[in-house]
Structure 1
Amino acid sequence: MKARVHVSLKPGVLDPQGAAVAHALGTLGFEGVKGVRQGKVLDLDLDETDPEAARAQVDAMCRQLLANTVVETWRVEILN
């Protein structure tokens, strides 16, 4: 089974990388970009065959390692 995890900063947490990207886009002539929030995507290949068990397993992974629970949120997609 495959899972995809989208990790992003919580609202209100400063995002210096996003601000740098927004600034760079402006200097390249891409006008109208008011803000950028950056994050990460992780694709996992799991042995688990039950979608709900896989979701619970990946959620536990996020809480323990894949996300900084203080400043980040995550969303889990079970792909198959």
Structure 2
Amino acid sequence: MKARVEITLKNGVLDPQGRAIGNALRGLGFDGVGEVRQGKLIELDVEETDPAKARERVEAMCRTLLVNPVIESYAIHVG
């Protein structure tokens, strides 16, 4: 089963890479760009046929390794 984890920095956490992307876009003439935040997307193939069980496994992976809960938020999409 395919699973996707979208990881973003929590509100209030400085995002220097997002700021650099925003500055580069404005420097290239893309006016009207406000705050830019960047994140990560992790795609996994999980050997599980039950979506609820697959979500549980991916949730455990997030808590154990994939996400820093102090500064990051995440969303899991299974299907």
Report the TM-score range of the alignment, normalised by the length of the smaller protein: over 0.9
For 2:73 and 2:59, how far apart are their aligned partners in 1?
11
Deviations 1:44-76 (A, max 9, x none): 001011100110110110111111111001000
Instruction: After the TM superposition, list the runs of 4 or more consecutive aligned residues in structure 1 that deviate by more than 6 angstroms.
Output: none
Match of 2:16 in 1: 16
Q: Give the TM-score normalised by structure 1.
A: 0.96
Aligned residues: 79
What's the CA shift for 1:24? 0.4
In structure 1, list runs of 5 or more residues that go unmatched: none
For 2:69 and 2:5, how far apart are their aligned partners in 1?
14
For 1:59 and 1:74, how far apart are their aligned partners in 2?
10
In structure 2, list runs of 5 or more residues that go unmatched: none
Q: Give the TM-score normalised by structure 2.
A: 0.97
- % identical aligned pairs: 57
Match of 1:34 in 2: 34
Q: Which amino acid aligns with 2:56?
A: A
What's the CA shift for 1:77? 0.2
